[in-house]
Amino acid sequence: MESRRDIFQALADPTRRAIILLLAASTLTPNAIAANFDCSRQAISKHLQILQACELVQPETKGREISYQLNVDKMKELEAWLLQFKAIFQKRFSQLDTLLTTLKK
């Protein structure tokens, strides 16, 4: 299933990145998440909707209470995509290091 929102636009927001960090540590309710921020519960709910649309978080309903958890599979997918660039940059830094060593001699 394709995400309805751009995952990178979702991650561009510092509040949403902070929510992801909180959810990496444990499953939390929207109220528990909101307690960590200086914004309304409604604002946190909007951030959670965006993160859920990108499949970065998953809601879990227990009775009348909803908790959110990090979608580890989506994070792994994102990591795999980013690792491609890490390899490219490591190769370029290695080439630069070789060039600088040659120039020093």
Query: Tokens in use for 101?
Result: 């060593």
Q: Is the pLDDT of residue 93 over 90?
A: no
pLDDT, tens digit, for every residue of 56-83?
999 999 999 999 999 999 999 888 888 8
Contacts of 50 (CB under 8 A, 6+ apart): 5, 10, 13, 16
Q: Is the pLDDT of residue 20 over 90?
A: yes
**Amino acid 1: pLDDT:** 43
Indicate the pTM of the whole model. 0.76
Strands 57-62 and 65-70: antiparallel
d(CA 9, CA 1): 18
| Residue ranges of E strands in the chain | 57-62, 65-70
